[in-house]
């Protein structure tokens, strides 16, 4: 029998019976979407779990970010990171805003606060950093700059679900945070997402924007979209959230196994352990340094030859995409460029067994 490929991630699912039990109610009330009972129940659970004051659920993380930027009525330039997924920048551009790329810190791969101020112009309205791999950005320094210049701060927290920093939910930092509940994320609703925010005044606009901007039966106030989370997705979220603590503790064991196997390998740089951060162990990125003796693509290839599918995440940089490279230049963000050429995320999910982790690490050590 051929060995199955080890993929970089594997979606969490509850027992099928548990999910069936959860959706039975839907056959009784025939209410499948538009903020039904499951939607409202999950929303309450998430506010508690994430330790945030306000939250609106959406059909996915990307729409959550788009809706947030629209609800905030931003205009002008947004300083953001090119070391991210397409969604972050697309949400800015699709709102008629201009992305301005700031370089990242070499150690934690998040926006470098020391490079923000040089990018601020009279048109700058917001800063949109990314908690890459669940690494918390330098939230204090970023907030200080934002306050000094009167800018909003919106975090792409797609990787940071459930984390706490200095005892507070990570979604409480900045004005707004977006979470993704995509199938590949630590917590999933199949597809889904949410936006958390400080200003209670955003609640109504966000609720209306995700439902076409409908204010009431006879009035449509804003040019909204359709970004509602349906009942089947919400039910999946309710089930998955019940088991999340256990899933994360299993991820932690995988993380610790990788750490013990790889921490002595010369030229393989591991993700930093951050003080005051309770991690969700979402990803296991390694950075292949010159000292290792061969480059990232060779490591990727060797793993692939052994049916282990690692991911060059994030490569290429957003400012190298065909749709952006005419206006932007990755030479302006040299550290992000360098990391994108060296980084590899290794398989990481709750059910990854220790023998497989050993096998993955043995391939790397054998190169």
What residue ranges bind ligand PLP (CB under 6 A)? Answer: 60-62, 84-85, 87-88, 130, 156, 158-159, 180, 182, 193
Residue 30 CB, nearest approach to ligand PLP (Å): 27
CA distances to 102, 103, 275, 344 from 79, rounded to whole Å, are 6, 10, 26, 26
Instruction: Please count the other Cβ atoms lying within 10 Å of the Cβ belonging to residue 266.
Output: 8
Among all chains, which residue has been given the structure tokens 């196994």? 257
Residue 154 CB, nearest approach to ligand PLP (Å): 12
Structure tokens, 107 = 């150690």
Q: Which is nearer to ligand PLP, 67 or 363 (CB)?
A: 67
Q: Which is nearer to ligand PLP, 78 or 364 (CB)?
A: 78
Instruction: Please count the other Cβ atoms lying within 10 Å of the Cβ belonging to residue 157.
Output: 30
Q: Which is nearer to ligand PLP, 84 or 211 (CB)?
A: 84
Residue 265 CB, nearest approach to ligand PLP (Å): 27
Residue 100 CB, nearest approach to ligand PLP (Å): 18
Q: Which is nearer to ligand PLP, 85 or 292 (CB)?
A: 85
DSSP, collapsed to helix, strand or coil, labels residue 146 as helix
By beta carbon distance, the residue nearest ligand PLP is 61
DSSP, collapsed to helix, strand or coil, labels residue 128 as strand
Among all chains, which residue has been given the structure tokens 């994108």? 340
Residue 367 CB, nearest approach to ligand PLP (Å): 28
Q: What is the largest CA-CA distance in the chain?
A: 68
Q: Which is nearer to ligand PLP, 131 or 257 (CB)?
A: 131
Count helices and strands in the chain by DSSP H and E runs: 11, 15
Residue 181 CB, nearest approach to ligand PLP (Å): 6
* CA 232 – CA 80 distance, rounded (Å): 34
Q: Which is nearer to ligand PLP, 171 or 193 (CB)?
A: 193
């Amino acid at each position: 029998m051929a060995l199955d490929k080890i993929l970089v991630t594997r979606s969490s699912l509850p027992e099928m019976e548990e999910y069936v039990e959860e959706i039975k109610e839907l056959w009784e009330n025939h209410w499948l979407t538009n903020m039904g009972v499951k939607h409202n129940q999950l929303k309450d659970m998430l506010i508690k779990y994430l330790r945030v004051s306000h939250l609106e659920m959406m059909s996915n993380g990307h729409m959550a970010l788009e809706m947030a930027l629209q609800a905030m009525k931003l205009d002008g330039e947004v300083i953001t990171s090119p070391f991210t997924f397409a969604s972050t920048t697309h949400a800015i551009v699709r709102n008629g805003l201009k992305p301005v790329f700031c370089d990242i810190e070499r150690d934690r791969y998040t926006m470098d606060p020391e490079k923000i101020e040089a990018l601020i112009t009279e048109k700058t309205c917001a800063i949109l950093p990314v908690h890459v791999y669940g690494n918390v950005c330098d939230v204090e320094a970023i907030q200080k700059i934002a306050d000094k210049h009167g800018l909003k701060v919106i975090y792409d927290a797609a990787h940071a679900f459930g984390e706490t920093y200095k005892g507070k939910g990570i979604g409480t930092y900045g004005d707004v945070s977006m979470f993704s509940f995509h199938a590949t994320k630590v917590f999933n609703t199949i597809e889904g997402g949410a936006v958390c925010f400080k200003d209670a005044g955003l609640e109504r606009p966000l609720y209306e924007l995700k439902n076409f901007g409908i204010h009431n039966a006879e009035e449509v106030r804003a040019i909204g979209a359709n970004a509602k989370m349906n009942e089947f997705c919400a039910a999946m979220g309710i089930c998955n959230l019940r088991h999340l603590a256990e899933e994360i503790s299993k991820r932690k064991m995988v993380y610790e196994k990788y750490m013990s196997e790889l921490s002595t390998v010369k030229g393989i740089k591991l993700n930093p352990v951050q003080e005051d951060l309770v991690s969700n162990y979402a990803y296991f990125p390694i950075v292949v340094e010159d000292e290792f003796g061969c480059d990232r693509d060779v490591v990727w290839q060797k793993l692939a030859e052994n049916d282990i599918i690692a991911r060059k995440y994030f490569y290429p940089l957003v400012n190298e995409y065909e749709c952006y490279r005419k206006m932007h230049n990755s030479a302006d963000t040299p550290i992000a460029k360098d990391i994108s050429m060296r980084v590899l995320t290794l398989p990481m999910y709750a059910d990854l067994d220790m023998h497989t982790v050993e096998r993955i690490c043995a391939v790397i050590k054998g190169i």
